[in-house]
Amino acid sequence: MTTVGKTMFPLSNGIANITAMKARYDKLQTQLSSGQKAATLAEMGSDRYFDLALRQRMARMDGYQQSISTVNLRLEVLDSVMSRIGTIESDARAAALSGGGGTSGINFQTAPTLAGSRLDEMLTLLNTDVAGRYMFGGNKTDGKPVATSSEIMNGVGARAGFKQVAAERKLADLGTDHLGRLDVTAATDTVTLAEQSTVFGMKLSGVTTTSANISVTTPAGSPPALTVQFGATLPTSGDKVQISLTMPDGTSEQVVLVATTGTPGDGEFQIGADADATAASFQAALANSLKGVAETRMVSASAFAAAENFFNGHGQPVLRVDGPPYDTATGTIAGTSANTMFWYTGEDSADARNTVTARVGEGTTVGYGVQANEFGFTNLIQTLAAVAVQDFPGSDPTSEARYSAMMERNAARLADTKDNNPGSLAAITVELGLAQSTTGAISARHTAHSAQLGNMLQDIETAPTEQIAMEILALKTRLEASYQTTALLSQLSLVNYIK
């Protein structure tokens, strides 16, 4: 007879199954409430390697996005400053092209004042900082790259400012006799025009004549000299001699003398009774014309030459006249921090943009460094400073010619053609704009990529709500059935089956 008992229906197996289902049920409830498949990496199994890799990748992109955000803030500030400096340049160009509104006493006074105001604003803009980080000194970002307008123009203590340096250069270019460091001599029928042995003043570049009766020799020798010789057959009225000169700033000027039989006026020489007398008249006329050019157009050029030496660009020293005395000086000397005010103290790199860089993506780096000593800035600063130190008294007969010469040079220096030069304001603006465009494109790519990685991460980590809910319902039914079966089995005995 077969014995019926609990051993035929072992409770331990049922209880173990119930325990497993209960654990699974609890886990499913946790997933449903948290929305996550696992609470720890260990619970993720082999998916944890993919999860870690995705999270690391997304963390890197978050870092790049933060870097891009910082770079874009700085680029926006740079763009704003560059825009304002561009307006200053445009205003200065417009004033130069129009002659400043005419050569009147009012314009004589307002032109230097306006130039000084524009210079002051520009120098202030070049000291722009973002949260204490100065933007126009290359990688030297912890201090102001540019001195103040007052310090630069007036100097500090024993350190000479631009006003003093420009005044010294003017004396050196004019010379003691105001002939622009040229010597005019006559010997019988020949007039000789020679440079003094100096880097200052006007330089001889050529001589021509329209007369077959005048012999000329082009500049030669050391120092260079040219000659104008009159022969037995004298020139006729209207014959011309033209002498070409190079100014201290590299521009060119011409002195034209016209022969006349009457009383000579400005720019004329008298045809005498012989060659010697004609040569003497030519010498006097030449000296007078040279003095006129030296005191007007040359001193204007001198101011720009001084500005170019003082407001030095990349790789250039600050130069000033080696004196005193200055009106007989023969050369320049490098200024020192003890005797000359240095206008710029930032980084001096040949590649300004790469002095400040930021990595914004895998293998992608943008450079957005800017130096105040780049061509575009120095050209504008030099131009404004050269005008700012001028004085055009109404009582000075040279004021009108000097003013016109300054405006002509301003127009040439600020012409749109300068935009083609490396380091011009336009070039800097384009390069910064390219950096901003690059960061924008990279940022958009990071956003799209992060979204893709986020979806992949979600597939790995996020619990499927509908699937879990259905599994919980099914498991609940199974648990209930198991509980009932186990409960019945726990009460099972032979007595219950005896009829």
pLDDT, mean over the chain = 87
Q: What's the pLDDT score for residue 464?
A: 60
pLDDT of residue 108: 80
Q: Hey, where are the domains in the chain? A: 1-35+463-499, 60-146+344-444, 174-307
Q: Any residues with CB less than 8 A from the CB of 354 and at least 6 apart, and which?
A: 367, 369
Taking the C-alpha atoms of residue 258 and residue 75, their distance in angstroms, rounded to an integer, is: 60
**Which one is predicted more confidently, 445 or 388?**
388
Residue from 252, 111, 245, 95 nearest 184 by CA: 245
The C-alpha atoms of residue 124 and residue 20 are separated, in whole angstroms, by 76
165 touches 306 (CB < 8 A): yes
Q: How far apart are the first and last CA of the chain?
A: 16
Q: What is the C-alpha separation between 170 and 164, in angstroms, rounded?
A: 10
State the pLDDT at residue 444.
Answer: 83
- Average pLDDT (400-406) is 92
Q: Mean pLDDT across the stretch 165-175?
A: 98
What homologous superfamily is domain 60-146+344-444 in, according to CATH? f41 fragment of flagellin, N-terminal domain (1.20.1330.10)
Per-residue pLDDT tens digits for 39-61 = 555 555 556 555 666 667 777 87
Q: Between 490 and 194, whose confidence is greater?
A: 194
Band of residue 361 on the pLDDT scale cut at 50, 70, 90: confident
Say what the pLDDT of residue 99 is: 56
Query: Residue 318 in contact with residue 309, Cβ under 8 Å?
Result: yes
Q: Is the pLDDT confidence value at 303 over 90?
A: yes
Q: Using alpha carbons, list the distances in angstroms from residue 54 to 47, 57, 68, 275, 431.
A: 11, 5, 21, 98, 35
Instruction: Give the bridge partners for 36, in sequence order.
Output: 462
pLDDT at 488: 63
Contact residues for 483 (Cβ-Cβ < 8 A; gap 6+): 18
* The pLDDT of residue 81 is above 80: yes
The span from the CA of 473 to the CA of 193, in Å, is 113
Whole-number Å distance between alpha carbons of 207 and 374: 37
Average pLDDT in the 356-360 region? Answer: 92
Torsion-angle region of 479 (φ positive above 0: left; ψ -120 to 50: alpha; else: beta): alpha
Q: pLDDT band for 349, please (50, 70, 90 cuts).
A: very high
Helix H, strand E, coil C: the string for the chain is CCCCCHHHCCHHHHHHHHHHHHHHHHHHHHHHHHCECCCCCHHHCCHHHHHHHHHHHHHHHHHHHHHHHHHHHHHHHHHHHHHHHHHHHHHHHHHHHCHHHCCCHHHHHHHHHHHHHHHHHHHHHCCCEECCEECCECCCCCCCCECCHHHHHHCECCEECHHHHHHHHHHHHHCCCCCCCEEEEEECCEEEEEECCCCCCCEEEEEEECCCCEEEEEEECCCCEEEEEECCCCCCCCCEEEEEEECCCCCEEEEEEEEECCCCCCCEEECCCCHHHHHHHHHHHHHHHHHHHHHHHHHHHHHHHHHHHHCCCCCCCCEEECCCCCCCCCCEEECCCCCECCCECCCCCCCHHHHCEEEEECCEEEECCCECCCHHHHHHHHHHHHHHCCCCCCCCCCHHHHHHHHHHHHHHHCCHHHHHCCCCHHHHHHHHHHHHHHHHHHHHHHHHHHHHHHHHHHHHHECCHHHHHHHHHHHHHHHHHHHHHHHHHHCCCHHHHCC
Range scoring the smallest mean pLDDT among 215-224, 269-278, 409-418: 409-418
Per-residue pLDDT averaged across 168-175, rounded? 98
What are the residues facing 195 on neighbouring strands?
182
Report residue 115 as tokens. 């130039």
CA distance 187 to 491: 148
CA dihedral 188, 194, 197, 200 (to 10 degrees): 140
* Per-residue pLDDT at 86: 95
Instruction: Please list the residues that pair with 215 across neighbouring strands.
Output: 229
Residue 201 in contact with residue 173, Cβ under 8 Å?
yes
The answer to whether residue 352 scores a pLDDT higher than 80 is yes
Radius of gyration of the chain (CA): 43
- Could you report the per-residue pLDDT of 101-112, keeping only the tens digit for each? 455 567 788 889
Q: Given a cut of 50, is residue 1 above it in pLDDT? A: no
